[in-house]
Structure 1
Amino acid sequence: MNMKFARLGTAGNEKPVVIAQDANGTEKYFSLDPLTKDINGEFLATDGIARTREALAAGNLPGISAEGLRIGSPIARPGNVVCIGLNYTAHAAESGATPPESPVVFLKPSNTVSGPFDAAPIPPSSEKYDWEVELGIVIGREASYLSSTDEAADCIAGYVVANDLSERDYQLPGAAGQWTKGKSLLQSTPLGPWLVPADELDAGHLALRTWVNGEIRQSSDTSDMIFDALTVVHHLSQYMVLEPGDVILTGTPEGVALSGRFPYIQPGDVVELEVEGLGRQRQEFYRAHAASLASVGTDEATR
């Protein structure tokens, strides 16, 4: 049974749901309240996806209406957001970097995660805010010192669309750069709209695309990744413990504003991103002011 997991409701009050097709191919929404309070590490680590399939087959999940409800991140706040940089050869080239021989790894704060359709703030002093469509991996069981990519596959619960928004002036100047500064901004990691179980798609062959104000910017395929999803999980497990609910962003293809071919994000711009089989995001950007940052996220887009 094809399934997609989502979280619906106002920011901080999202409710877990599963979206499944009936015999006629019509998508219907079902509450996960009988199984879990949220879609998080605990749910995934206790075979939540398998239990959901069983509950759907048995007719034990109540149907709901999703009309008018905001779509939040499909994963409750992750413990870690781990990122891979320069993972597409063409993007490395447009960034002025040599393709890496080993994965480039950095972290984003988990409080950067937001919903896929939430209005997105451009930082007050930002002049070079950039988009990055990425395939996101969601970890379903602990991964530490894995011995093979086969073991890595067993640790992946599913996949999501991610936008790794990046402020290039904060990230790159100086001899060493400051990637953490450029990657840690408020609502700079929109995730979703759905979590799709790993066994329902081939993550090695998915199209990725980005549009800005309706014009295509990025168009590539995950088959062009230097390090594929299984290799990434196996590699990371040698250096850190990956826990259920953690999210890994696997890098972006060419076509970002950093290339010099396109202007950076401006107030009023609309950025849309999609990964084949994982849905589509849409963010409208506005200029944030320091005094208003505390209230960002309370007036967010609805479905």
Structure 2
Amino acid sequence: MKLFRHGAVGAERPGALDAQGQLRDLSLLVPDLTPDWLAPEKLRALRAIQLEAMPLVAPGARIGMPVAGSRQFVAIGLNYRQHAMEAGLDIPKEPVVFTKALTSLGGPNDDITMPDHSEATDWEVELGVVMGSVARKVPVAQALSHVAGYCLANDVSERDWQTKRGTQWGKGKSFDGFGPIGPWLVTTDELPDPQSIPISLSVNGEQRQSSNTSDMIFSVAEIVSYLSQFMTLLPGDVVITGTPSGVGLGMKPPKFLQRGDVMLLDGGPLGIQRQKIV
């Protein structure tokens, strides 16, 4: 299934795409797409809904982030070789882990507010993973069974705060709206292999990033297993898995976002995002 949430910020309602790609409202049957609805038995119940009988979502409705009530927002850095090289850093031997504030989560098409006095706001297209069940010390072979689905993500980053304010990455990654996800949560029954997804990003129509998740250093299964060795992953938790080369920081000279710029992200089966910098 492709699940989504629609409506004004703080008043989103659940929905799903039908077989014709039309947006259907599920709020008559489901209160919201909260972590408990991502359990395997609840997803089976959602798949049993006759979507064509559900009301259509109003044209032009805002699409929100596809899951409500996430309790952790975890990110992986330097997970594509070319990106590590453009950053001038060694290829990691273990996943590089940091966290983003939950308040940085946003809808896929929401405007992104540039921080005050920022001269180094950057883009990072990524594959997002949404957990469906508790993962604690799980082996790689079982890791994907704990995943509810996948989404497109943009790990927006303020590089000065990230690299020049004590080298704690979360400082540059946690501004409000710096973690848009969606438009859809594509469940694992529809997308069983997360290592074959094309991802790309353009700024004002100029392509900056283009890659495939097959190029990741650490696979989704390896990341979920690794994280679960030292932290418990909970249903609804969002894990973003690293960005390929082509970020503004890696350009020579570096080139960053300006107010008025428009980012367009394409994740193939994960859908499209569009964000304006304001």
Could you tell me the TM-score, scaled by structure 1's length? 0.88
CA RMSD of aligned residues (A): 1.5
Distance 2:221 2:89 in 1: 24
Give the corresponding residue for 1:85.
77
Question: How far apart are 1:45 and its partner, in Å?
Answer: 2.4
Question: How far apart are 1:46 and its partner, in Å?
Answer: 6.0
Amino acid at match of 2:7: G
Secondary structure of 1:55 counterpart? coil
Give the corresponding residue for 1:15.
13
Match of 1:271 among 258, 263, 269: 263
Distance 2:261 2:174 in 1: 21
Give the corresponding residue for 2:50.
56
Secondary structure of 1:121 counterpart? coil
Distance 2:60 2:250 in 1: 38
Distance 2:82 2:216 in 1: 10
Give the corresponding residue for 2:241.
250
Count of equivalent residues: 276
Amino acid at match of 1:42: D
> Which residues of 2 match residues 169-248 of structure 1 at below 5 A?
169-173=160-164, 177-201=167-191, 202-248=193-239
Secondary structure of 2:64 counterpart? coil
Give the corresponding residue for 2:38.
44
Verify the 8 A CA contact 1:77 1:110 in the aligned structure 2: no
Q: Deviations over 1:218-264 (max 9, x none)?
A: 01110100001111001100010000000000000000001034520
Q: Which runs of 5+ in 1 are unaligned?
A: 287-303
> Which residues of 2 match residues 157-172 of structure 1 at below 5 A?
157-172=148-163
Verify the 8 A CA contact 1:8 1:66 in the aligned structure 2: no
Verify the 8 A CA contact 2:25 2:57 in the aligned structure 1: no
Residues 1:32 and 2:30 aligned together: no
Verify the 8 A CA contact 2:130 2:148 in the aligned structure 1: yes
Residues 1:121 and 2:119 aligned together: no
Distance 1:220 1:77 in 2: 30
Identity of aligned residues (%): 44
Distance 1:73 1:282 in 2: 13
Distance 1:233 1:86 in 2: 16
Give the corresponding residue for 2:275.
283
Question: How far apart are 1:34 and its partner, in Å?
Answer: 4.2
Q: Deviations over 1:115-155 (max 9, x none)?
A: 11111100012110000000000000000011x22321110
Q: Deviations over 1:174-216 (max 9, x none)?
A: 6x61212111111100111110011212210111100000000
Question: How far apart are 1:29 and its partner, in Å?
Answer: 2.9
Secondary structure of 2:141 counterpart? helix
Verify the 8 A CA contact 1:10 1:70 in the aligned structure 2: yes
Verify the 8 A CA contact 1:35 1:52 in the aligned structure 2: no
Distance 1:77 1:257 in 2: 32
Q: Which runs of 5+ in 2 are unaligned?
A: none
Verify the 8 A CA contact 1:77 1:111 in the aligned structure 2: no
